[in-house]
Chains A and B, each alone.
Chain A
C-alpha cells in the first residue's frame, strides 16, 4: 500500500498570506490527524478528522482550520500567516474506527517557512 502523502513538501510564504496543505491517507484509513512540529514546542496536535467530521481539536487559534473529503483526503488551511507558524506540518492517518484508536502512520511533512 502507498503511504501517507503530503503536498507540497516545501512552502515559503510571507506574513499575512494564507496557505493550504494537503494530505492523502493510506487507502482504507478514515482518520486523519494534523500536527505541528517545531524545535521549541515539539509535536503539537492540531486536529483530527474522521469520516469528514472533526473529532478532536488541539489548542490552536481559529486561523488554523481543516476539512476532510469523502475520499478521506484532508486539507488544512492557515490564514493570516505569522512568523511563528514556520514549522513542519505532519499529517497522520490511522485505521481508527468510530469507537477506537490505532497507531498512526505519518507522512513526510510539509515544511512551511514564513518570511
Chain B
C-alpha cells in the first residue's frame, strides 16, 4: 500500500530555534494533514491542506502542500517547550477510504 516517508524521525533542538520536517510519497495525494500528539494523548489536528502549492499558517506553525502533490512540509518558528511531542503527517488520496500516516517526528526541546 501507499507509504509516507516522514523525516527526520527525531529532532533535538534548543528553545527558540526554528524546526522543519517533511513528508514525501511516491503517490499523489489530494489532502495533507499535520497532527501533534502529546505523550499519552490522542493526536490533535494542527493544519489541513487541500490544494497543491497551498501555504497555511496556524500561529507559529506553517505547512505547505507540495506543488508535485507528493510532499508536504511543516515549519515551527521560535520553538517553545510546549512544542515538545510527536508530529505526524497524513495524506489522503481522492476516492480512497482511509488516511495514510507518516511514522512521526519526535521533537525534543532543550530549555
Tell whether A pairs with B: no
A residues lining the B interface (CB < 8 Å) = none
